[in-house]
Amino acid sequence: MRSLSNEILPMKVLLRLPGQFPERFTCIEVEGDGDCSECFVLARFNERAKCYSIIERFPLSEPAVADAESKVFEFGEAGKDAYCAGLTRLIDSLKTEGGKTVICRQIHATTEASVEDIFGRLCSRYPDAAVYAWQDGDSFWIGATPELLLKADNQKLSTMSLAGTRPAGGTAEEWDAKNIEEQAIVTEFILDELRNCGLHPEVAETGSRKAGPVEHICSLITAEAPAGSALAVAEKLSPTPAVAGYPRQRALRQIDEVESAPREYYAGFFGLCSQDFRELYVTLRCMKVSASGEVTIYSGGGITHASVPEKEWEETCVKASTLLNVIN
């Protein structure tokens, strides 16, 4: 596999935010709290964000990459028994304790595609997503996320509650109780956290939002701009119940117990900060691609007392197909 550079510092970034043209950045981490004006912001799961000062910034044309038809992948049964056994124990606990926990699993593959080609294919296939690729040592994290964590200017703050999953376009029926409950937990958490920051949030609208082969329940939430740091508000929101669970601290402990490997950047967040504008997204639909072409795809789902392990396994397979279709 061909990468952009073998350098570790400065860090290389490709980014295409929704409604914008793709860009290439070269960044250097800012020590300490840093001055995050004109910065690329990056946070691992359940960790504080780091700011990377942008020292070079180049606009890119929309990638002209031949796009292949979507394929149906056979995922096999490797790891399924252990995954389902872990979920069964967790579901038994949730039947007693209530709440929700998001469990991620890893899917391994290989690719001969370059970072640029994968990025271009994601831009072509998912025009409404935030598409990203950033350097992590000799590897790159690449993906296309549908989930806004926070967007703010000097007047207004926006975020979303995105949860619940079903195949896209397969039904016109109402969402089932399990998915409605899962998304309602996320909405209430976000509203509570924004109120704790002294804001007055409102749910603007709720509907279904398509994200590749699946769709989610999405509530758009708005509030006035915070008097202090919007990045500090983002750090209070992250990780939301959409990617961790609720109650949050208990869910984090259950994630450590059930998941077999660290999440690293999966379900953290990234984006751009300037003096007048911040736009941050949750790191979902993502994969880590090594210099030799080894791929680790991260795919998760929300588990409640009503979850069925086999259906949750199938959901992670459907979500992973988003990325498998662009690396092959």
Q: Which pLDDT tens digit goes with each residue over 98-114?
A: 999 999 999 999 999 99
* pLDDT grade for 34, boundaries at 50, 70 and 90: very low
Phi-psi region of 132 (alpha: psi -120 to 50; beta: other; left: phi over 0): beta
Quick one: how far is CA 140 from the chain centroid? 15
Within 8 A by CB and 6+ apart from 174, the residues are: none
pLDDT digits (tens, 9 = 90+) for 114-123: 999 999 999 9
Domain CATH number, residue 103: 3.60.120.10
When pLDDT is averaged across residues 42-53 and rounded to a whole number, the result is 96
Residue 214 lies in a domain: yes
As a whole number of Å, the CA-based R_g of the chain is: 19
Residue 273 lies in a domain: yes
What are the helix (H) ranges across the chain?
80-97, 115-125, 177-196, 230-237, 248-258, 309-327
pLDDT digits (tens, 9 = 90+) for 60-111: 987 655 555 556 556 667 789 999 999 999 999 999 999 999 999 999 999 9
pLDDT for the residue numbered 5 = 43
Residue 100 lies in a domain: yes
DSSP secondary structure letter of residue 251: H
Residue 73 lies in a domain: no
Q: In which domain, by residue range, is 201 found?
A: 11-61+78-327
Q: What is the signed CA dihedral for 122, 237, 165, 311, rounded to 10 degrees?
A: 110
* pLDDT grade for 37, boundaries at 50, 70 and 90: low
Residue 69 lies in a domain: no
Q: How many domains does the chain have?
A: 1
Residue 67 lies in a domain: no
pLDDT for the residue numbered 182 = 87
Residue 4 lies in a domain: no
- On the question of pLDDT at 275 being above 90, the answer is no
Given a contact cutoff of 8 angstroms between Cβ atoms, the answer to whether 270 and 134 are in contact is yes
* pLDDT grade for 168, boundaries at 50, 70 and 90: confident
When pLDDT is averaged across residues 209-231 and rounded to a whole number, the result is 92
pLDDT for the residue numbered 72 = 56
Residue 169 lies in a domain: yes
